[in-house]
Chains A and B, each alone.
Chain A
Amino acid sequence: MRGYVRPGNSQPAWLFPFVVIIVLILSVLPLARLAMTGIVSLAHGGVGAVLSDPALWQATYYTLVTAILGTLISLAIGCAFAFLLTLTDISSKGALSFLFVLPMMIPPQVTALAWVQMSGPSSPLLKALHIAPPLGSPQPLYSVGGISLLYGVQHAPLVYLALRAGLMALPRDGVEAARLSGAGSLRVFRDIILPLSLPGIIAGAAISFVSCTGNFGIPAILGIPASIYTLPTLIFTKFSAFTSRTFGDVAVLSVLIAMIAAAGLAIQERALRGRDYRVLGLSGATAAFELGHWKFLLQPLLWVCIFFMLVAPFFALLAGALVPAYGVPLTFKTMSVSAFYEILFRQAVTRTAFVNSLSLAAGTALCLLLVTVLTAYALTRRKDLLGRIVSSLIEIPYSLPGIVMAVCFILVFAAPLPILHVTLYGTIWIILIAYLSSFFAVSLKPVVSAFHQLDPALEEAARLSGAGFFRRLADIIVPLIAPAAGASVILVFLIACNELTISALLWSAGTQTLGVAIYNLDDSGSSDLASALSVLVVLMVVFMMLLMELMAKRLPRGVVPWRN
């Protein structure tokens, strides 16, 4: 009986097993290896000690609170931008959305420091306004609120990108029907647009939440001075005082983080369950709202956001690159471009780091796109427990701090692979695999939510045309979810470009990445060089985005997120 399939199933028989194997390699293997090590190291007792440590529960509490608050803030900012820039007639949309994606390229530590300086006693902004607090007054950002705020700012572009794709699939006539029913713009927004874009919003919230639980940079800078420890910073301190129990402690902490992430995922599942978001009939015409005089309020507001999220930190970076040392005031006399000169023409490491990071980021984004489309396809057509387990397994690596994932991968790959007898450790490939594992969730989210909105008839028509699985994937499904796929690629690319901890632990001579290079420069006191390199990275990303802009005409509609 060749060629027959189980009834009611549009996926080839191999697809789900294939997804399971991918997840086994990328998630289960490294996590299980850490769990094993953890169990061994705790074999002589000590679980009790870890679990009864009040610091642990304190950290869990702070992780939860900051992650939830941070998610809410990033949802607020990201949704506002997504809705305004996708659905309304606000002007300079292109520029705004172009700029809104960029903050992801500024390392969180830089943003955090820039904000600390902006809001602290030496803030040029506050000084100019004569409201600078006196020297020595407590820094308001060193608090749960500060951490959450920065989480929000850092992750808002994630929400924006995840949501935008869904908004583009909103059927115009559904909105029109609601308006004709007498619903004003706000009402239509609440009753029709919001519920219909729920898959996108929830996807964005989930990415943001999971990012928050795994973030190290922001709580390290803003939390530690106020003794606010989150689970990632706590894990870091465990590593800094290494004992025989450390792996056990880290495993326990990781399980906690994983549980928080899985709980988030469960909430997400619940919120989406039993609903139907398939856009019936023809999509292709997108909804549009006229803002009227609200424009005059909202437009400047968006620019203010951009200022705080992008311009201010970027100028902090730029200023740092132009002065020879910290604390030297930036004047025409002190200003020098020698840092740029040094980075561009003297440091050999710069070029390798650029090449490594770009190829790693591009490789990760593209590999993940492929895997993601297949996985999302398999998962949205499968509603059973196994499917849910697989999706949580995909989620966990991204929710863990980079240092944990890096350790997992060292544990798995430091020894030569069995049978093949090759050692991946120390090559660029292990970083690639670790990236694939870590960013799988980021890449998956927008694509899954796009699949939720797809009218199945469109695929059915292709099947009846005789298109086999890969054929219709390439011709119909991928172009239909193009905005989501584009968002996914860009998200992963930007995050991977900037990645630090994983590559820091997995790198070796010749495979250092931009994140590592910047960190090392900064760590060794050459903050001017570090800033210069950061500025160059941002400029490079801008340049590449402009290149995409040029290519945009040949790409399916909606792929490039700053074009309408």
Chain B
Amino acid sequence: ANLVLYTSQPNEDAQATVDGFMAANPDVKVDWVRDGTPKIIAKLQAEIEAGNPVADVLLIADTVTLERLKEAGKLLAYKSPEAASYDASLYDADGYYYSTKLITTGIVYNTSATFKPTSWKDLTKAEAKGLVTMPSPLTSGAALIHAQTLVGVDGLGWDFYKDLAANGATAAGGNGAVLKSVASGEKAFGMIVDYMPIREKAKGAPVEFVFPIEGVSAVTEPVGILASSKNADAAKKFVDYVLSEKGQEGFLKLGYIPARNGMKLPEGFPARDSIKVLPINAAQALKTTDQDLKTFSGIYGSN
């Protein structure tokens, strides 16, 4: 049977990844399914529940989700030889999952905005009143991680979110929706994942992306093998491939920050050391997820 990959990467990216892998491993054929993280997880869980998970490899948004699967015993431990070139915080010590790239969440602003924000706190300024939007953690995995990350930063915390809410910020849909409302000028500022505005700017959209000085949160699009996989060998090859230099270059070409040490940064990004990635503890975040979601909707339920 073919190797089945479930991924939340956008279509073209998924296709590129798979193409790269198949070029390197002509004997393995890959079928892939892509969808938003919640949907792909719902699909996977339903399959597991029905006793016949179809997927072999997952390449999806965030470590928290894979941490959950790991704890449920659904993942296969595999120690990839490529792990050596990665920061220890970017993969699971037991080899259940490995981060493949860094998708950071920063600030997007419309070029016609009255000022250029440089810090998260700028969004709570009076000039930004009613002009801020962000993806809702309830629909976007990255947004949840982002909130959980920012909440852990000294000087931000839930108070920051409360100030934002008081400043008329809205939490709408996913990252796409944020991009649309900022690009169309309906809102002036938004929290958003890096690659979207950078790509759109290249196409001519009136948007600009900034990495705030406090640092950015990041989701890392980890890869993991399902314990039930019938193609474990091919799956391991896939993991090795995406972690390999070649695989990482693929991500680079697509416009992402590779997770592997010593790689270049894509076009349009500032130097790697000017980007401060805020840390997050996946296991910890997993435990507080429910509470965090409640807190969040508690804040944004009152506006």
User: Which A residues are within 8 Å of any B CB, using their own CB?
Assistant: 37, 55, 113, 116-117, 120-122, 135-139, 142, 220-221, 224-227, 229, 233, 236-237, 239-244, 246-247, 324-328, 334, 349, 403, 406-407, 410-416, 423, 425-426, 501, 504-505, 507-509, 520-527
Contact = CB atoms under 8 A, between A and B. Distances in A.
B183 A415 contact: no
A113 B168 contact: no
A324 B171 contact: no
Interface of B: 10-13, 31-39, 41-43, 45-47, 49-54, 65, 68, 72, 110, 129-131, 133, 136, 138-139, 141, 144, 168, 170-174, 176-177, 179-180, 182-188, 195-196, 199-200, 203-207, 289-290, 293-294, 297, 300-303
Contacts, number: 194
A173 to B, nearest CB: 55
Nearest to A136: B130
Contacts of A507: 33
Contacts of A229: 297
Given A241-B144, A242-B68, A509-B31, A227 B184 contact: no
Contacts of B50: 410-415
Residue in A113, A135, A243 whose Cβ sees the most chain B Cβ within 10 Å: A135
Given A220-B139, A324-B204, A403 B72 contact: no
A137 to B, nearest CB: 6
B183 A325 contact: yes
A37 B49 CA distance: 8
Contact of A136 (B65, B187, B300): B187
A135 to B, nearest CB: 6
Contact of B37 (A240, A324, A501): A240
14 contacts: A224-B172, A236-B38, A241-B289, A242-B38, A242-B65, A246-B45, A247-B49, A403-B42, A411-B50, A412-B50, A414-B46, A501-B39, A507-B33, A527-B176
B209 to A, nearest CB: 13
B41 A326 contact: no
Given A414-B54, A509-B31, A327 B206 contact: yes
A241 B290 contact: yes
B13, B141, B185 — most chain A CB neighbours (10 Å): B185
A113 to B, nearest CB: 7
Nearest to B297: A227
A239 B42 contact: yes
A239 B42 CA distance: 6
| A139, A240, A426 pick with most chain B CB within 10 angstroms | A240
A524 to B, nearest CB: 3
A324 B72 contact: no
Contact of B185 (A135, A349, A413, A501): A135
Nearest to A329: B206
A43 B186 CA distance: 47
A55 B297 contact: yes
B173 A327 contact: no
B293 A117 contact: no
A423 B10 CA distance: 28
B171 to A, nearest CB: 6
Given A37-B49, A525-B199, 10 more contacts: A113-B180, A135-B130, A135-B186, A236-B138, A237-B138, A240-B37, A326-B179, A414-B53, A415-B50, A523-B36
